[in-house]
């Protein structure tokens, strides 16, 4: 458990045609946008950050901690799940240094909500979280606006 460790996280969800499903990214609801299919709130940013954090600490992945077969997590707030995962990481003797997340989507634009997303994720994680939006430039399923994907890295150090 010596020295720093890095973890990588990834998540992807397709859009749904369910008009009642809200789009939540980084803990922020994007009103008027199509939601994502999933068991929880399908927040791909929070999911990727959680996976990166758990991986860095060697504590498995989001599906192990919050299985999509468990009804307790149906519709769950993924930023709250990140907070629980961060507490587990701290309990295991690690301090989170930061999480950096890249999100690939054609729409909506993240920039108008970036500060709020980063603030909510940072509060939940207990360390700085940065979010960057990238376009797929029309390539593949993400470029065709079929869903959203996110990649994250987390750095932890032994306490």
Return the ∠ at Cα 75 (arms to 15 and 82), rounded to 5°.
Answer: 95
126 near 97, Cβ under 8 Å?
A: no
Rounded Cα distance between 16 and 43, Å, is 13
Boundaries of every domain in the chain: 4-158
User: For 25-62, what is each residue's pLDDT tens digit?
Assistant: 999 999 999 999 999 999 999 999 999 999 999 999 99
User: For 94-145, what is each residue's pLDDT tens digit?
Assistant: 999 999 999 999 999 999 999 999 999 999 999 999 999 999 999 999 999 9
CATH class name, domain 4-158? alpha beta
User: For 134-148, what is each residue's pLDDT tens digit?
Assistant: 999 999 999 999 999
């Amino acid at each position: 458990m010596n020295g720093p460790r890095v973890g990588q996280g990834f998540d992807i969800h397709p859009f749904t045609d369910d008009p009642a499903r809200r789009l939540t990214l980084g803990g922020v609801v994007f009103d008027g946008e199509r939601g994502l299919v999933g068991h929880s709130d399908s927040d791909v940013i929070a999911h990727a950050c959680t996976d990166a954090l758990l991986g860095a600490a060697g504590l498995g992945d989001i599906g192990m901690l919050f299985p999509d077969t468990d009804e307790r997590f149906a519709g769950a707030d993924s930023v709250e799940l990140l907070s629980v995962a961060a507490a587990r990481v701290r309990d295991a003797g690690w301090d989170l240094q930061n999480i950096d997340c890249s999100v690939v989507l054609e729409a909506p634009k993240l920039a108008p909500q970036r500060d709020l997303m980063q603030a909510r994720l940072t509060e939940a994680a207990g360390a700085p979280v940065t979010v960057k939006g990238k376009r797929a430039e029309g390539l593949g399923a993400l470029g065709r606006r079929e869903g959203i994907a996110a990649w994250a890295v987390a750095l932890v150090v032994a306490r």
